[in-house]
A and B are shown apart, each in its own frame.
Chain A
Amino acid sequence: MRPVIPYVTAALLFGLGVYGVLRRRNAVLVLMSVELMLNAVNLILVTADTTAKAVLPHGGQVFALFVIVLAAAEIGVGLAIVLQLYRIRASVAVDEIPLTEQHTAEPVAATTVGQASRAVGSEPEGPR
């Protein structure tokens, strides 16, 4: 087995993931690119498990399992944030989010919230 083949595959996957994160505007597509990067790291870990002689056997594969669990947690919280963003702004374009939303911009944001919740209509009101 020549380890250079999976290593180079992982490097190219990571590069494609970086490209996708920087290029895409849609937040869901950005999350997909992050998954590509996490997979590249997992591939590196599993391949390193075959090439490196570690004190503990199968350390790389155990780490890959841990990274998979972390990715599952990340995608859960990430999608909650994306859906909340869509509910507030009715758009998931990451370059339209104002990073410095001050109190002067508050009325605009509040009307957007009102419109969005009226448009969606199914927003859970909760015990208000």
Chain B
Amino acid sequence: MTGVDALLLALGAVAVGSAALVVATRHLVRAGLYLVVCLGAVAGMYLVLAAELVAWVQVLIYVGAVVVLLLFAVMLTRAPIGASDDLDRSGWPAALIGGGVGLGLAALLVDAYRWTTVELPEAGTAERLGEQVFSSWVLPFEVLSVLLLSALVGAIVLSRPDIGASRDDAADDRGRSR
């Protein structure tokens, strides 16, 4: 048990604990804030695992952008401040399937890796990852940029009702709402 293992264990405990609070809390806003703690702990694990660039991208995009978007959605859907009782369905099937998946995967991985050790590879800095992305992975990278563009257009079309519907539907809608 080296220092790296102790660090990974502590960060993993924080991540799993705050993830449990995300799925169990009855306050909508607190779920978003626990998600920040969980994603931050996972970013710390990336740093320990010598994945430098991925850790900083995780902090920038997940903690910076995704959580802010989620909190905006919580506000725009007029979520109540304080505890709400109607956030959950009955829990037994969900606990059965979730626990089965989590513990099953954990058992599988423990059986595969036991208590072996590996050497940490050289750090994945921006330079090394950039070389890889722009030499071996150029085609997926370009396809991903097309996907981002289409997701952007899709989000805009979805949130503007006047350009999404066909002409007949729009006329129908107008007639009904008047």
Contacts and interface: CB of A to CB of B under 8 A. Distances in A.
Interface string A89-123: 00011010000000000010011011001000001
A1 B117 contact: yes
27 contacts: A1-B118, A3-B116, A4-B114, A6-B8, A6-B45, A8-B106, A9-B16, A13-B15, A13-B19, A13-B102, A15-B100, A15-B102, A23-B98, A26-B28, A26-B79, A35-B39, A46-B49, A49-B51, A50-B120, A56-B132, A62-B137, A71-B61, A79-B70, A111-B176, A124-B162, A125-B162, A126-B160
A36 B117 CA distance: 27
Q: Is the interface of B mostly helix, strand, loop or mixed?
A: helix
Given A12-B16, A73-B151, A83 B102 contact: no
Nearest to A18: B98
Q: Is the interface of A mostly helix, strand, loop or mixed?
A: helix
Given A3-B113, A9-B16, A18-B102, A43 B74 contact: no
B132 A58 contact: yes
Contacts of B49: 1, 6, 46-47, 49-50
B51 A15 contact: no
Interface residues of B, number: 98
Interface of B: 2, 4-5, 8-9, 12, 15-16, 19-20, 22-23, 28, 31-32, 35, 38-39, 42, 45-46, 49-51, 53-54, 57-58, 61-62, 65-66, 69-70, 72-74, 76-79, 86-89, 91, 93-95, 97-103, 105-106, 108-110, 113-121, 124, 128-129, 132-133, 136-137, 140-141, 144, 147-148, 151-152, 154-156, 158-163, 170, 173-174, 176-177
